[in-house]
A and B are shown apart, each in its own frame.
Chain A
Amino acid sequence: MTGDDTRHLPLEDLHAAAGARFGAFAGWSMPLTYPAGVMKEHLHTREHAGLFDISHMKLFLVSGPGAAALLDRACPLDAGALEISQSKYTFFLNEAAGIIDDLIVTRLGDQRFMVVANAGNAVFDEKHLRELAVDFEAKVEALDRVFLAIQGPEAWAALARAGIETGSLLFMHGIEPRQNWFMSRSGYTGEDGFEIGLPESDARNLVATLLKDERVLWIGLAARDSLRLEAGLCLHGQDITTEFDPASAGLMWAIPKDVRVSGAFIGADALRSILERGPSQKRAGLKPEGRQPVRAGAALFDAEGNPAGHVTSGGFGPSAGHPVAMGYVSTALAKPGTRLFADVRGTKIPVDVNPLPFTPHRYRKG
């Protein structure tokens, strides 16, 4: 099952002991589900607290007098305008404004930034950043960390019981609470929650403490996917790729207005011309009628049978209680309520364009 190139999580033994079923994702052997199963894991996260091992994701420390300038070149960002501890969702774009990866950048100090990148793109991202860094007074360090997410309405309380106070930390802010730790109030489930990068030995202690709390359960990648899809969040490689730009993806909220106008980021010219003429397609939420899930790759058609787009993520939403999907549709058809049809194994399933998210975000913003 696992080739020589498959990477293994540092805490793999803990997942195996917890009864995880493993599967390949982005070159890693990842826990997909635990014995509770995806449905219970999903609902537990929305009601209590889910613990996720996301060590396949990569943390980079970017530092030096030119760190902000480097990030402003690499991302459509005004890194210097971030307050210390403020996080920002952003991207690496290519010259055509295609999305190379989506990232979270957190300002840790005057000249220090944490960049969290996706597993599947980590190698490319590191090379990309290092190549760009040559022109700036900035250093790029790939950190060796276990990365845990604890998500759900009781995440803060479980951390408090484990001796980690999170009270003053607001959503999309990150700090260094202990030596070699990085903790942000963030996540990819739509719930309040935290992501913590820390050394392996500290991680083993923290996990052991957290799992003593009956509110905390290990949650696998399968539920992580259904949680983020219900929350309307994009999975890079599916919902956003270099084929899509931030305007088509409906992610322009991540780019400050003045950066759109005058930023010197890679892809700026291409993005400006896309914005000028308007994107021809847009990412949209899709709600299939009935119980049958509509999955990634399904072609979409309008009422007359003309091609209308395609589905990029789809499955069942355990909290929504119905199938949920997202995809790209012609701009004219992207309005919520528009009835489209998805081809599923030759049958046309009615799907309605639906606002995202499917389940309301419950972030703690202040």
Chain B
Amino acid sequence: MAKTYFTEDHEWLRVEGGVATVGITDYAQEQLGDLVFVELPEVGKKLTKGDTAVVVESVKAASDVYAPVDGEITEANASLSSDPSLVNSAATGDGWLWKMRLANESQLEGLLDEAAYKAHIG
């Protein structure tokens, strides 16, 4: 059973079998505006919580998306290379950014649940 977590940096993680699918929230995509490019990570890259995992570029600006937990990239969403606007149209679905194998599942305890995230964005 997958469980979804959120971060204060407006990311979501859906965790299943020790692997997290990560994306940005609908709130975040709205703030960024129309995305035109997503710089995806390489599979196998090891990330520590807080490292830049992905850079999303809107018409106007580039923004970092950070690794919410430690882990290793197992997949990047290749559809975003041809259609970065998926992040705008389906931020929490087809617009996911990457998957990572968690190095330390206890880090999930420090993340927000949906109610806490909603309270965070007000």
Contacts and interface: CB of A to CB of B under 8 A. Distances in A.
A274 B60 CA distance: 34
Interface stretch (A138-146, A186-194, A290-298): A290-298
B contact residues, range:
10 to 19
B34 interface: yes
A37 B34 CA distance: 7
A293 B62 contact: yes
Contacts of B36: 291, 293, 316, 323
B37 A316 contact: yes
Nearest to A226: B59
Interface residues of A, number: 20
Interface of B: 31, 33-34, 36-37, 39, 55, 57-62, 81, 84
Interface string A314-342: 01101000010000000000000000000
Contacts of A37: 33-34
B40 to A, nearest CB: 11
A345 B33 contact: no
A329 B36 CA distance: 26
Contacts of A345: 39, 55
Contacts of A292: 37, 39, 57
Nearest to B52: A345
27 contacts: A21-B31, A33-B33, A37-B33, A38-B33, A38-B34, A38-B59, A38-B60, A39-B33, A39-B59, A223-B59, A225-B60, A226-B60, A291-B36, A291-B37, A291-B81, A292-B37, A292-B39, A293-B62, A295-B61, A315-B59, A315-B60, A316-B36, A316-B58, A316-B59, A318-B59, A323-B37, A345-B39
Interface of A: 21, 32-33, 37-39, 42, 222-223, 225-226, 291-293, 295, 315-316, 318, 323, 345
Given A293-B57, A345-B55, A39 B34 contact: yes
A222 B60 contact: yes
Contacts of A42: 59
A291 B38 CA distance: 9
A315 B59 CA distance: 6
A345 B51 CA distance: 14
A61 B37 CA distance: 45
A285 to B, nearest CB: 18
Nearest to B81: A291
Given A21-B31, A32-B60, A42-B59, 9 more contacts: A37-B33, A39-B34, A222-B59, A223-B59, A292-B57, A293-B57, A293-B62, A316-B37, A316-B59
B122 to A, nearest CB: 14
**Which 9 pairs between the two chains have the least Cβ-Cβ distance?**
A316-B36, A39-B34, A38-B59, A316-B59, A222-B60, A292-B37, A291-B37, A37-B34, A293-B57
Contacts of A316: 36-37, 57-59
Nearest to B61: A295
B55 to A, nearest CB: 7
Contact of B62 (A38, A295, A318): A295
A171 B55 CA distance: 41
A314 B58 CA distance: 11
B103 to A, nearest CB: 24
A216 to B, nearest CB: 21
A287 to B, nearest CB: 15
Contacts of A39: 33-34, 59
A225 B33 CA distance: 14
Contacts of B34: 37-39
Contacts of B33: 33, 37-39, 222
